[in-house]
Structure 1
Amino acid sequence: MLRTLKREIRKLISKKPKGLNETKARAILLHLEGMKISQIAKILQVHKSTVYRWVKEFEKEGEKCLFYKQRKGRNKKVNEREISIQELQGKTIWEAKAYIEEKFNVKISYSLENSEKEVKNSLHKTLQDRQEETNRCRLRERLKGVIKKGVKVFFMDECGIRHDPSRVRRLGLYVVKTDYPSVKVNVLACIPLFDGKPCFMLTYSNVDSRVFVNFLYLLRVRNSGNIVLIRDNAKFHKNAYVFSVASRLSITLLFLPPYSPDLNPIELVWKDLKRWVNTYHYSCYALEFIEDEFYYLVSKGNYTGYWIKKFHDVLEDLEEGISMEKFFSSLFSYLLTSFIKFYLTIIQAFLNVFLYFVLREVISPLKLL
């Protein structure tokens, strides 16, 4: 009995019929020859539990288990030619959907079901839109407890920039090959929402909590008053050491919702900065002037405009406070400049009179001679 069973399995392996699991058949053959499961697994390079499962299946089902089981698979797709145009003529998308599902015993896909919505430009939102809406709601709730008058809001992020970024299509330019190795820098920067000075820090080491704390000190040196720093959810941003330093520096750390880079306007700055580095064609000298280019881009472009439109209801008090500050600062600067101009005109008139009398005393004796 055992000999005939071995002979049949050898015939199956040699003939290789359709649907035969050859590895499984060889494992069963080796097991029938008295080999251990661990040795079979080592020879066939499969796990021991797999060989053990194959042996149990063979004991229950016999040679039938050596073949792959036929699966039903997906439902058959309905050919468009099978559906008569006359039967569907004059029906809405919902009536046609119900008719096709009942006649051909199939399920209409979600994309086909929503085709009418796309045509009519309905207001049903996709999953991504709903996720973005929930992220905006979460951030709006966090901002309400933090945004006050006199607070300076900053957006902060880290970015790794290489001197040989991915190439884009250009006209009339070519790649200059270099012999020196690739150079990469890590950049920490922040941009203000309304009022405040942007900060930039460059490092050749990996960014960790200590590097981030050094950036917080730089931000405090460049800006006075209460600061709110909006940033992502990196692990080293949530360190206890970081929170202690931030509280000591009067900096409030506000974290964005997870997977929401669209809510951080500094991502647009990274895009323009990398495009600028890319125009140097693999030149390592581009990294030496990257700080100047960053400040130029921030001063030139309005990167926070779209963010203000999204959260204008939360930022009303902050905008009013900043507008009043700008009004008083402009009024003070106007009064100061007018005061200086007035005194300069008085001093100039006094000097003119003084020079007139001095020159008259000097010239009159010369005329007598």
Structure 2
Amino acid sequence: MPYVFYPPGVKVIAVRMTLEGKSRDVIRKALGFQISNQSFNRWRELYKQTRRFIQNPEEYEHLGRPRTLSSEDCTFMLQLVRNEPGLFLDEIREKLYDATGTLLSVESVHENLVNNLSITLKKAETLNSQKCLLKKYRYVAQMSFYPANYLVFTDESAICDRALLRTHARSPCGTPAARYIVRQNPERFGILPAISINGIIALTVRVDTYTGIKFEHFLKWLLLPRMNKYPGPNSVLVCDNARYIEAICDEFGVLVIYLPPYCPELNPIELCFANLKSHLRRTQALSVTTQPEWLICRACVKVMTACLCRKLYRHCGYLVPSLNRPTTPRPC
């Protein structure tokens, strides 16, 4: 007979009626359950031995293969992975044996991590140990007073053709996949944009990276003339810590706010760079073009749209107003 679940109250009443001398057919009819004879015998025997109607779950017999790790071993492995998440399986195996005396194979360590502890291997996110959460939350509290249309973000990034090669390729089963470098000595381009909630405000691309003097020139002649005095739209410049730009921003009446160190998740332009490089990696246009600066500028305008900037502002936690789109009346 297949397993049938009976509520605890049914078991109690069935055993008591049995002790009172009621027949099993009467009990079945009174309770509305087709209780098997094996169940009657098992419940009554349990009551005779333990004076309980329901067995303690801790006394159940465990079916199947017993686990290779005890609760203490599982606790140790969880704490070990929490403290050192980058350990290899053989290193976890050695540390487990040294601490608890439990010796497992590498395959068993992997099986216990995945199936019993729900710990899987994934690409690790790189975090800086000098990141200060106090400065981050202080910045978040400060920015809660500024509307998103006030904020302009700027930062620089580097683009190199070799770094934009596609990382995966296809080949027949059992054979390696290859990728080819078109330019042996590709140039390194520096890109310096500034974005608002409505898209790109200023942009410059050049060979090599940007120095402090070049960044100051970009602010004075390209970005700040296109911003407004504070308070107002596009009147707050948010960038990395660069104290020497405060005097220039004061001349234009622009407020400067510095990002907390090592917090790229608060800068939407960092996500713009990721989308830009993904676009260039997909098109592979830098490998064949003869005008890379113009191509990068065109890709920036195509990728860093107002729609994307609005989404990234909201993703980073800034106060983005909702769009009041006109609704068309439905036909009757």
TM-score normalised over the length of structure 1: 0.45
Q: Please identify the structure whose Cα radius of gyration is greater.
A: 1
Quick check: which one's helix share is greater?
Answer: 1
TM-score normalised over the length of structure 2: 0.49
